[in-house]
Amino acid sequence: MDYLNFYSLLRDENFEKCRALPTKKLLGKKNTIYNFLFIVDDKILTKKNNPFFFNSKKLSKNFNSFSLSFISSLRNNIYILCYSNIGDLKKIDFLKNCDFLSIREALFNLQGNIASIVSAGYSLYKWQRNNKFCGNCGSKNKFDENGFTLICTNMNCKKKVFPIVYPTVIVNIINKDKILLARNITWKKNLYSCLAGFCEQNESAEETVRREVYEEVGLKIEKIKYKYSQYWPYTSNLMLGYEARVISKKSKIRINKKEIEKARWFSSKEIISLSKQKKIILPTKEAIAYSLITDWVKKN
Ligand SMILES: [Zn+2]
């Protein structure tokens, strides 16, 4: 199950203590290496594929124009999310020749432990950026000290908001000795995966599984069993992984053509041989779908 924890945030026992402090107060600790993750316009700044920049006097002078938030602490290292507009960033010499990478590009070459810190910083940045104003009264929101809470600046409102996670289900559907793999109409050629979908209001996760499977491929399922979960940083989803069995005599697939391009039953032998021939491509190893599929293949 190594890959399932790919995006789980690495942290040490000082994490809660650090997070309780205003971020700027954190920046004077002795024997500490400060690692800054810069994000501008949704892009991660990197130099030679490294997304972290170390403490620098030049950087400290410009702190006032930056939004700083604590991401994590790990063995004398403190990781700080840092963003500003491009004009302010360009004033810092050592940031001038950086690469601007999308989050997927930035995470591509990183080890799981470092990737988890980058993805946590990115999730925090996206949530802060999307919540600049209070959803209750429309006034500006400000950081409540550490960046993990935003609070409305209207003294009659003071509504607090916290980082949001969107629950989503993903399900491996079994029919005797085969499983269902499908292609979304937007995916790259030959990529096949399990069915997935967002939980709606008032629904349990199991009800979402049942509804999504029926909507996308017209199948009725039973024996819905929870397996494991994974956070997916690109869209702030908590992916809840399930296994279910199709109700026998009702295994005829009826595709919803608005979402699904192809869907069919595969035996474990077919999955192994077709993926060797590149006739089907499975999801990346970091994705929970990969574990759901390959766990089943190993047992069958
Ligand atoms: Zn408000």
Cross-strand partners of 196: 170
CA of 22 to the centre of ligand 1 (A): 22
**151 Cα to the center of ligand 1, angstroms:** 8
Rounded to the nearest angstrom, the distance between the alpha carbon of 140 and the centre of ligand 1 is 7
- Measured in angstroms, how far is the CA atom of residue 168 from the centroid of ligand 1? 29
What is the distance in A from the centroid of ligand 1 to the CA of 192? Answer: 44
Rounded to the nearest angstrom, the distance between the alpha carbon of 137 and the centre of ligand 1 is 4
Mean pLDDT (the chain, rounded): 89
CA of 118 to the centre of ligand 1 (A): 30
pLDDT confidence of residue 108: 79
The confidence band for 89, taking pLDDT boundaries of 50, 70 and 90, is: confident
Q: What is the mean pLDDT of residues 82-99?
A: 76
Least Cα distance to 7 among 170, 232, 227 occurs for: 232
**For residue 5, pLDDT beyond 80:** no
Going from the Cα of 141 to the center of ligand 1, the distance in angstroms, rounded, reads 8
Question: Can you give the pLDDT at residue 54?
Answer: 76
Rounded Cα distance between 41 and 10, Å, is 25
119-144: pLDDT as tens digits: 999 999 999 999 999 999 999 999 88
pLDDT of residue 56 exceeding 80, the answer is no
* Residue of 27 and 284 predicted with greater confidence: 284
155 CA to centre of ligand 1 in angstroms: 8
Residue 2, pLDDT above cutoff 50: no
Q: Tell me which range, 50-54, 72-76, 132-136, is most confidently predicted by mean pLDDT.
A: 132-136
d(CA 107, CA 21): 28
Which of these, 237, 242, 240, lies nearest to 166 by C-alpha position? 237
Residue 34 has pLDDT above 50, yes or no: yes
> What pLDDT digit, counting tens, does each position of 195-238 carry?
999 999 999 999 999 999 999 999 999 999 999 999 988 889 99
From ligand 1's centre to the CA of 214, what distance in Å?
40
Residue 58 has pLDDT above 70, yes or no: no
Read out DSSP for 14-57?
A: THHHHHHS-HHHHTT-TT-EEEEEEEETTEEEEBTTB-EEE--H
- Tell me what pLDDT residue 286 has: 85
- Distance (Å) from CA 133 to ligand 1 centroid: 8
User: Is the model's pLDDT at 1 over the cut of 60?
Assistant: no
pLDDT at 26: 83
